[in-house]
Amino acid sequence: MGNAQVQNGVAAPSSSSASNQPTVTASTAAAPATAACEVSNAPKKKKICCACPDTKRLRDECIVEHGEDACAKWIEAHRICLRAEGFNV
């Protein structure tokens, strides 16, 4: 590519003959790699602590007020919700 020198991401020709050739800067050379890294179509997965807040709240309130043994239906409802969200519980 001639005698071009790169300083601070900008190609500077060192002779007049190099000015007729296309120059490549650091920003244009890195653009395809940067674009590939930024594109992500993967869905964000919820953390188990943040999934199913309604059934979690009902389950927790029931356990605090009545004890775990009396809240089997709320515990199972929360498990069903978590399974629907993709968790293996």
Q: Is 49 annotated as a binding residue?
A: yes
pLDDT digit string (tens) for 1-48?
555 555 555 555 555 444 555 555 544 444 444 444 444 454 567 899
Residue 10 lies in a domain: no
Answer with the residue of higher pLDDT: 78 or 33.
Answer: 78
pLDDT digit string (tens) for 39-71?
445 456 789 999 999 999 999 999 999 999 999
Query: Whose CA is closest to 58, among 69, 47, 74, 72?
Result: 74
> Residue 81 sits in which domain range?
53-85
* Residue 78 pLDDT greater than 80, yes or no: yes
C-beta of residue 64 within 8 angstroms of C-beta of residue 56 = no
Query: What pLDDT score was predicted for residue 45?
Result: 79
Structural element, H or E, at residue 61: helix 53-66
Q: Is 71 annotated as a binding residue?
A: no
- Whether the predicted model's global pTM rises above the 0.75 cut: no
Query: What pLDDT score was predicted for residue 24?
Result: 53
* Residue 86 pLDDT greater than 90, yes or no: yes
Number of folded domains that form the chain: 1
CA distance 17 to 32: 28
Cβ neighbors of 52 (< 8 A, separation 6 or more) are 78, 81, 82, 85
Residue 9 lies in a domain: no
Residue 15 lies in a domain: no
Neighbours of 11 (CB within 10 A): 20
